[in-house]
Amino acid sequence: MSATDTIIIEATRETGRVERNRKAVRIWLGLVIFTLFCLVLVGGATRLTDSGLSITEWKPIHGVIPPLNAAEWQEEFELYQRIPQYQLLNSHMTVDEFKSIFWWEWAHRFLARSIGLIFALPLAFFWVTGRIEKRVRLPLLGTLALGGFQGFIGWWMVSSGLTKLVSVSQYRLATHLVIACLIFSACVWIMRGLAPHAKDRAPTDRSKWAAGAIAFLVLFQIYLGALVAGLDAGLSYNTWPLMDGAFIPGDLFIQNPWWINLFENPKTVQFVHRCGAYVLLAAVFLHMIIALSKAPATTHARRAVLLFILVCIQAAIGIATLIFQVPLDMALAHQGMALIVLGFAVAHFRAFFGEYQREAAIEVRG
């Protein structure tokens, strides 16, 4: 066997090893993404059922064990009775009724703890066994660190409703959701980068950045949706396409200073969320038309079409959720679909950058 044949055989083996490692990491990240999806949905249910303040203490370790007997349930209930939400809104509540909101918040915190283990333990294993490529190590560590910070943000959010407010601050709720979406997006980005990419050319020189702008618009729209949820703004003005009898309703800037309406006036916040949806739909439609006209047979164009379809489905769910006055199932479908749109938009953006260089990925184990 010649030296050239030996080199080819070794290169083939190394390529196979890299591909197997990439597949294993993608499967792991897919599990992380699915768990994050479930976590956000349970968090949405926690908000929609006003359950987020049912656990008034932050016990990162001990808090994983729920009340196990009547005395412990009574103790937990008495802690809840000290906060304004109980005193002003739920003073009629019994222990059994309290349990129904407690379990939503407990499930949310349990999933949050679980995602830390699901992310950290396999990451350590893949790292020690040499299955993590150098160029994704820092992004993965950064994502893990952001997840740890998210735990602090979650408690910071809950603490806003323990002394004066009867619910959590919409500012902190939006921050909490956006960070969750950033973690979700980072995992999608890394996983997509480890998958095979088509060699199709981009429809235009600006298509890549247009896809990035769309991903940002989706994230911003989710932020606006969090403000809507935090203010219960979806429970009023339940008509479409008119809002309060007009396309542009009055009293949008009734509070002073004017900009505070963008964050604290339920009517203004809902109107801005509607406008954000129109802008996003127009941007995705234009992106699709350009892709189809400039490069109709490419995977980029097909993804642009699918992205437009997903945004249309999300818009329809959003309108139905509003018209039917935010039933729990529709509201959760709207939130879940938002994550699906975000994940697809991020993957679409990532696809314009191509696959990680195979040459850079082939490394000596350890």
Using one digit for the tens of pLDDT, what is the confidence trace for 214-256? Answer: 999 999 999 999 999 999 999 999 999 999 999 999 999 999 9
Which long-range contacts does 274-283 make (Cβ < 8 Å, 24+ apart)? 274/243, 276/217, 276/220, 276/221, 276/224, 277/221, 277/315, 277/318, 279/217, 280/214, 280/217, 280/218, 280/221, 280/311, 281/311, 281/312, 281/315, 283/210, 283/213, 283/214, 283/217
The per-residue pLDDT for 263 is 96
360 pLDDT above the threshold of 60: no
363 pLDDT above the threshold of 50: no
338 pLDDT above the threshold of 80: yes
Do 216 and 65 form a contact (C-beta atoms < 8 A)?
no
365 pLDDT above the threshold of 70: no
The per-residue pLDDT for 196 is 86
Q: Express each pLDDT in 146-205 by its tens digit.
A: 999 999 999 999 999 988 888 899 999 999 999 999 999 999 999 999 988 888 888 999
107 pLDDT above the threshold of 80: yes
Q: How far apart are the C-alpha atoms of 23 and 25, rounded to whole Å?
A: 5
Per-residue pLDDT, averaged over 246-275, amounts to 96
Q: How confident is the model at residue 14 (pLDDT cuts 50, 70, 90)?
A: low
Do 348 and 304 form a contact (C-beta atoms < 8 A)?
yes
Per-residue pLDDT, averaged over 64-89, amounts to 92
The per-residue pLDDT for 60 is 74
The per-residue pLDDT for 3 is 59
How many CB atoms lie under 10 A from the CB of residue 331?
Answer: 23
Residue 256 DSSP label: S
How many CB atoms lie under 10 A from the CB of residue 27?
Answer: 12
What are the C-alpha distances in Å from 109 to residues 38, 48, 225, 290? 12, 16, 22, 44
Between 3 and 261, name the one with better pLDDT: 261
Reported pTM: 0.92
359 pLDDT above the threshold of 50: no
95 pLDDT above the threshold of 90: yes
Residue 267, Cα to own-chain centre: how many angstroms?
25
| Of the candidate ranges 8-22, 94-108, 151-165, 188-202, the one whose mean pLDDT is the lowest | 8-22
Cis peptide before 84 (omega within 30 of 0): no
